[in-house]
Amino acid sequence: MTKIKSIRTRVWNWTGPTVPPQGNFCTNASDALWDKGDAMASFRFHQWLTCEVEAEDGTIGIGNAALAPTVVKKAIDDWYAPLVIGEDPFDYAYIWEKMYRRTHAWGRKGIGMTAISAIDIAIWDLMGKLVNKPVFKLLGGRTKEKIPVYYSKLYADSIPAMQKEAELAQKHGYQAYKSRFGYGPKDGMSGMRENLKRVEALREVLGYDVDLMLECYMGWNVDYTKRMLPKLEKFEPRWLEEPVIAEDVNGYAELNAMGIVPISGGEHEFGLIGCTDLLRKGAVSVLQYDTNRVGGITAAQKINAVAEAFQVPVIPHAGQMHNYHLTMANANCPISEYFPVFDVEVGNELFYYIFKGDAEAVDGYLQLDDDTPGLGIEITEEHIANFEVIE
């Protein structure tokens, strides 16, 4: 039996060039505030956490987290690492419960569950490396020849700019695209028109033989969404994502029950019970947890089973290897989100500047290798000059 010897957390603070948010960019939860202030602060994910779990034999498993990295680092260093060091990584279910129950008073959502996720992902990468198998082979194996992906960008900008981006994306063979709305309740009827004009313009470029998903990032409310759904229906969106704040589960359920456009969400939900609650209430037609938030691979795989029982597809937020392996191993995970590799704007792009080995989409699909152990990523220092790394 091998034991976990140490856990090393690092915060990677991007100091390199960034692309400022263009146009109206994306609605978000801050839009409801009277003082608009810097709503784009919601989008400055310009930090990432790496979490390396080392076994006694020197094998290292790599986990990560993108939410509040400096705070999650402190939580791991001070609270979670002491619970995990000395344990056998193959006792991952016990370790998970230990982390969850020992910090339950404050850790079952948000920062705590994000910390648990980072450690759990590292443990699964470590287990894969120790048995020389890819993580998806430990979860259920290959359920797809390759993974279909959707192009996820198209933030709100001028119509010509968005149409140009869509035309460029089309050249890469994607069969599905996600766009962001830039207008919400504070922009009134004229904002609705701006939203609708951009969806229509994207359909003009993309046609109707590909999927188009629409993202609100918690920037609308139930009233506004109820008014928008009938206007959006003719554009045949595959889903409308996070129309309201994550805690308004009843609002989700009311909108989803209208049956006009499937409502998706879950990237800001945490834990098996939290996601089961979304499913039990019919709040989402597509569940979108992120494995580096929801509780890691251990929790995500349990949620996948519950979602399958409800026959609700799971399409995790963000792509990236910690999600791709679950999509490959579950028939109820039909496609993956894919952030194309671009200059750093939102911060979702940072994954490519910290890790090498993340799967790249080709002609709208990505592939995982049957023989690469673990998650198949390593930390690279290729872009270290653009980071301040906090040990």
Please say whether the beta carbons of 19 and 65 come within 8 A: no
Among 217, 252, 270, 289, binds ligand LD2SMVNI (CB under 6 A): 217
- Pair 5, 159: CB distance under 8 Å: no
Cβ distance to ligand LD2SMVNI smaller for residue 123 or 326: 326
Give the Å distances, CA to CA, from 1 to 26, 88, 90, 113, 358.
49, 7, 9, 27, 30
**Is residue 152 near ligand LD2SMVNI by the rule CB under 6 A?**
yes
Which residue's CB is nearer to ligand LD2SMVNI, number 43 or number 224?
43
User: Which residue among 9, 64, 285, 348 contacts ligand LD2SMVNI (CB under 6 A)?
Assistant: 348
Residue 55 binds which one of ligand LD2SMVNI, Mg ion, none, with CB within 5 to 8 A depending on kind?
none
Can you tell me the distance from the alpha carbon of 294 to that of 303, in angstroms, rounded to the nearest whole number? 9
Among 10, 317, 322, 325, indicate the residue that binds ligand LD2SMVNI (CB under 6 A): 317
Q: How far is 115 from 293, CA to CA, in rounded Å?
A: 8
Considering only 4, 7, 11, 26, the residue that binds ligand LD2SMVNI (CB under 6 A) is 26
Spatial strand order in the sheet of 387-390? 60-65, 47-55, 4-14, 387-390
Q: Which is nearer to ligand LD2SMVNI, 187 or 215 (CB)?
A: 215
CB of 91 to ligand LD2SMVNI, least distance (A): 33
Report how far residue 171's alpha carbon sits from residue 162's, in angstroms, rounded to the nearest whole number: 15
Contacted entry of ligand LD2SMVNI, Mg ion, none for residue 348, CB cut-off 5 to 8 Å set by kind: ligand LD2SMVNI
Could you say which residues in the range 228-267 bind Mg ion, by CB under 5 A?
Answer: 241
Among Mg ion, ligand LD2SMVNI, none, the one that 26 touches (CB under a kind-dependent 5 to 8 A) is: ligand LD2SMVNI
14 three-state secondary structure: strand
DSSP secondary structure letters along 133-176: -BHHHHHT---SSSEEEEEE---B--HHHHHHHHHHHHTTT-SE
Helix (H) or strand (E) holding 190: helix 188-206
Question: Among residues 157 and 241, whose Cβ is nearest to Mg ion?
Answer: 241
Least distance from ligand LD2SMVNI to the Cβ atom of residue 319, Å: 9
Please say which residue, 50 or 336, places its beta carbon nearer to ligand LD2SMVNI. 336
CB of 317 to ligand LD2SMVNI, least distance (A): 5
**For strand 176-180 and strand 211-215, is the pairing parallel, antiparallel, or unpaired?**
parallel
For the chain, strand residue ranges (E) read 4-14, 47-55, 60-65, 147-152, 176-180, 211-215, 239-241, 263-265, 286-287, 336-338, 355-356, 365-366, 378-379, 387-390
State in angstroms the smallest separation of the CB of 10 from ligand LD2SMVNI: 22
Answer for the pair 338, 317: CB distance below 8 angstroms, yes or no.
no
Whole-number Å distance between alpha carbons of 351 and 364 = 19
Q: Which one, 61 or 219, has the nearer CB to Mg ion?
A: 219
Q: Is the Cβ of residue 96 or residue 355 nearer to ligand LD2SMVNI in the bound state? A: 355
Report the nearest approach of ligand LD2SMVNI to the CB of residue 152 (Å).
Answer: 5
| Distance of closest approach, residue 44 Cβ to Mg ion, in angstroms | 16
Residues in touch with Mg ion (CB under 5 A): 241
